Amino acid sequence: MDFLSMEVEEDKDFIRTIEWHMMDKTKFFPLSMLSSFSVRCALYPLTLIKTRLQVQKHNDMYNGMLDAYGKIYRYEGVSGLYRGFWISSVQIVSGVFYISTYEGVRHVLAQKNIDSRLRALAAGGCASLVGQTIIVPFDVMSQHLMMIGTVSKKGNVAFNPLGINNSPDRSKLAITAELTRRIFKMDGIKGFYRGYLASLLAYVPNSALWWGFYHFYQEELFKIIPPYVSHLLIQTVAGTLGGFTTTIITNPLDIVRARLQVQRIESMRMVFRDLWREEGLWMFSKGLSARLVQSATFSFSIILGYETIKRVSVNDEYREHIRW
């Protein structure tokens, strides 16, 4: 009993959340960009599969996540799983702005003694607002590239609304340049922000809830898990649980965002109407399995990288108070 009491007292000396002012930014930013790129590279196939499942109608291309993976790999090869990746990878730049906004807002709110979960909720929403403003044009283009040339079960091209020449002898740069010209010719600059409002309605709550649930689950896990357990392990579990919870809540909004940007439907109301007519109540689970796998893997990987980098970047004066 005395030994356990000593362990609890000892654990109180450790810093559970490494704050913005505790880190060396010259280490944090480069490592953060490298970590973000690595995670996105590893998980991009799940993003592509999720998008194709959300955009298809009546399962006319795939019967689910595993079926989609098998068919894409069989008919399009590994490169098919990475369609649009090099455009999507620009997200590592928006990621710097995202995390800077998140940590900056948390720092400001911390000075006002606001509860950590509410700080995370508000900071996550603000960070997503900044990030989406930067990334939506690249998101629109990458999602078009993900879908171009996909083949239905009947063997015909299922998706290519802009009529892009996707022949194998054309380079990725040429296809992307043609896509850019077509979007600009049809809609001007606003074409690159198609679905911007839907993106904000999908991702701002998603980001706010994810960070809020992350801190909520983290605090609850710290209460019930013995103090000698790795803090980093607890944080990755909290991130994964937060990802699961948030994904289930926000899935319909993500489907609407994807369809607005890719199928060129005019309004969110029309997307909801079409989804209800096509899927009924199943609209709430459309693409959910792929998104849950993606979210859980992404959340685990991002928190593992994020919290590890914070520990590596922490200033020397705090280093002895950090537990791995």
Go through the chain and tell me how many residues it has. 324
Closest to 137 in 3D by CA, of 203, 189, 84:
189
The verdict on pTM exceeding 0.75 is: no
Cα 301 to Cα 42, 187, 306: the distances in Å are: 10, 37, 8
Helices 25-55, 91-110: crossing angle, 10 deg rounding? 120
Beta carbons of 52 and 147 less than 8 angstroms apart: yes
Q: What is the pLDDT of residue 1?
A: 39
The per-residue pLDDT for range 64-78, each reduced to its tens digit, is 788 888 888 888 888
Q: What is the pLDDT of residue 160?
A: 60
- At 37, the amino acid letter reads F
Q: What is the pLDDT of residue 9?
A: 39
Q: What is the pLDDT of residue 159?
A: 60
Q: Is 280 exposed, middle or buried (0-12, 13-18, 19+ CB in 10 A)?
A: exposed
Q: What is the pLDDT of residue 143?
A: 78
Give percent of the chain with pLDDT exceeding 90: 4
The residue behind tokens 């590893």 is: 42
Q: Which helix (H) or strand (E) holds 189?
A: none
Q: Which domains does the chain have, with CATH numbers?
A: 15-318 (1.50.40.10)
Token pair for residue 152? 């239905």
Low-confidence ranges of the chain (pLDDT < 50): 1-11
Q: What is the pLDDT of residue 163?
A: 65
Helix/strand/coil for 154: coil
- At 217, the amino acid letter reads Y
Q: What is the pLDDT of residue 13?
A: 66
Beta carbons of 278 and 41 less than 8 angstroms apart: no
Helix/strand/coil for 314: strand
The C-alpha angle 246, 251, 254, rounded to 5 degrees, equals 110
